[in-house]
Amino acid sequence: MNEKEEFSFSNLSLKDICFYDAKLSGDEFVGIKHESGKLRVQFPLGYRKADDEKEIRKDILNLISVLSSFSDHEDSFVFGESLKTPSKGFPIHAYMFLINDFLKNGYYSERETVYNRASSGKINWSRTIKQVKPQLVEDSPVYFEFVTRKTNHNENELISQIHKTLVFESFSKIGWIFSSFVPQKCTLKFNANLFRSVIKSKISQTFEEKRLLLFKNMLSIVDYMDSSNESKTFYYGTEHFESVWERLVDTVFGESDKEKFYPKCRWIIDGKGEANFGNDIYKKYSLRPDTIMITGRGTQKQKIFVLDSKYYKYGVSKHDYDLPGTGSIVKQIAYAEFIEGKPDSLPGDVKNVLNEKEIYNAFILPGRLEDSGKKLDYFGYSCADFKNKTEKAYNKIYGIFLDVCTLMYCHIPHDKDMISQLANVIGNT
């Protein structure tokens, strides 16, 4: 397919364009990309395949939602260094807005109120009384003619033609997510300066929120089309899904005040004393566990779990070399030893009932669980030779597979059901 040709939906099978374990072959990208005439939707490692097109569409929309919610970037684009990125990020949410708005409301048209004299219609009494002379019938004024109001929708206005052009552009890029329908292409040729000028003029004159939102999204698309020279190559995704994975796990299982559990290091300089890095830099040099999960917080049943989210291949590859290494294992033990040995740094409610026997460690890896009813599963543990694995509970770092699909659909902050399941798996193993 030539780069300048429009993407064809006629024989598109969502199953054929969706890929689930690209990371195994070295492709780190997660998201949507269209390059060299080929469209691909790449899901995170271990994501469970859907059975039909309807479910696949839901999965794609959920993938977009997760990427935009859990990335540190603006919602227009998330990407990695190796991608052939255009000069401006792809504003996928603006494209989705135009498609949704079109499916609900059709093409935009200017509304024009016209007043005419007629014997019937929607009467404007104020204008009728001022402009029409009544006839006297049996000494009573009677109107045989009225000033009536009519609303015309002018679909030939330039702003309407611009909207049609941008609706087609939106469908040509991501319409396949919604359906196989493609609207008719408008004959108006794309002109970035003209389109931008007209839309900005409408924005300055508009006070209706819905219209304002429509115009602003239209402007985002025009800016993107201008910067990309209408290139059909576009991306929405990331080559660093590990950061999204960490934030997903932390959202579902983590405590909001986890910085109280950060072990810190310091330098003491002869003749000078403690080195001063400044508050921000000092915090940067803290060891920071991904997630601190606490059950029964502040009660005698309190348990503390130090979780390290690893977006590693092991859950799918089952290759031993894809497991977390020595450095990660030692850090987990250090985190737990800090919690036990420095209780004064912990929040008061946690410190008051701290039990050294109830501090646990775990690695959270993505896994594709064969039992669709299971959200997570224990697969083994790691330990260090220089620590007695039976002396302290946290000297065994449990390995847990977490179903990626489930987590991405149920990223509820502090999900009590999933927290309970994870705590039971670790605590009873």
pLDDT at 35 over 60: yes
**DSSP states of 21-48:** -GGGGT---EEEEEETTEEEEEPPTTPP
C-alpha R_g of the chain: 30
pLDDT bracket for residue 258 (50, 70, 90): confident
Q: Residue 181 corresponds to which tokens in the numbers above?
A: 């329908």
Confirm if 102 and 167 have CB atoms less than 8 A apart. Answer: yes
For residue 4, is it within any domain?
Answer: no
For residue 325, the enclosing domain spans 241-427
Mean pLDDT over 277-301 rounds to 77
Of residues 206 and 20, more confidence is placed in 20
Number of structural domains, the chain? Answer: 3
d(C-alpha 97, C-alpha 158), whole Å = 21
Residue (of 119, 90, 37) closest to 234 by Cα position: 90
Lowest-confidence region among 21-35, 98-112, 220-234: 220-234
Instruction: State mean pLDDT over 147-163.
Output: 70
Strand pairing class (376-382; 30-35) = unpaired
CA distance 267 to 275: 5
Spacing of C-alpha 139 from chain mean position:
72
Q: Parallel, antiparallel, or unpaired: how do β-strands 140-142 and 359-367 relate? A: unpaired
- Binning pLDDT at 50, 70 and 90, where does residue 3 land? very low
Does the residue 31 lie in any domain?
Answer: yes
Residue at 295: amino acid letter: T
Higher pLDDT, 308 or 135: 308
Confidence bin at 91 (pLDDT 50/70/90): confident
**Rounded CA separation 191/100 (Å):** 24
**Spatial distance between the Cα atoms of 425 and 410, rounded to a whole number of angstroms:** 19
pTM of the model: 0.78
Dihedrals φ, ψ of 389, to 5°? -70, -15
Q: What is the pLDDT of residue 129?
A: 65
Of 205 and 217, more confident: 217
pLDDT at 1: 37
More confident residue, 120 or 170: 170
d(CA 122, CA 146): 9
Q: Considering the domain boundaries, does residue 333 fall inside one?
A: yes
Within-domain flag for 69: yes
Nearest of 308, 294, 234 to residue 419 by alpha carbon: 294
Q: How many residues does the chain have?
A: 429
- If you average pLDDT over residues 175-181, what whole number do you get? 83
**231, 357: one domain:** no
Q: What CA–CA distance (Å, rounded) separates 118 from 145?
A: 6
* Domain boundary, last residue among 219, 238, 257: 238
Residues 323, 312 contacting (CB under 8 angstroms)? yes
Q: Does position 314 have pLDDT exceeding 90, yes or no?
A: yes
* pLDDT, greater one: 72 or 303: 303
Based on the domain organization, do 174 and 128 belong to the same domain? no
Please tell me whether residues 405 and 327 are part of one structural domain. yes
Q: What is the pLDDT of residue 424?
A: 87
In a domain, 350, yes or no: yes
Is 223 within the bounds of a domain? Answer: yes
List, for residues 406-417, the tens digit of each pLDDT value.
899 887 767 678
- Given a cut of 80, whether residue 266 has pLDDT beyond it is no
From 95, 123, 154, give the residue that closes a domain.
154
Looking at the fold, whether 350 and 227 belong to one and the same domain comes out as: no
For residue 310 the two structure tokens come to 């690893």
pLDDT digits (tens, 9 = 90+) for 330-380: 999 999 999 999 888 899 999 999 999 999 999 999 998 877 678 899 999
Last residue of a domain, one of 238, 268, 301: 238
Domain for residue 357, yes or no?
yes
Q: Residues 309, 291: contact at Cβ < 8 Å?
A: yes
Q: What is the dihedral of CA 130, 135, 137, 139, to 10 degrees?
A: 60
**In a shared domain, residues 41 and 119:** no
For residue 275, is pLDDT > 80? no
Q: What is the mean pLDDT of the chain?
A: 83
Tell whether 216 and 355 lie within a shared domain.
Answer: no
What pLDDT shows up at residue 213? 94
> Does 329 or 262 have the greater pLDDT score?
329
Nearest to 224 by CA among 200, 179, 190: 190
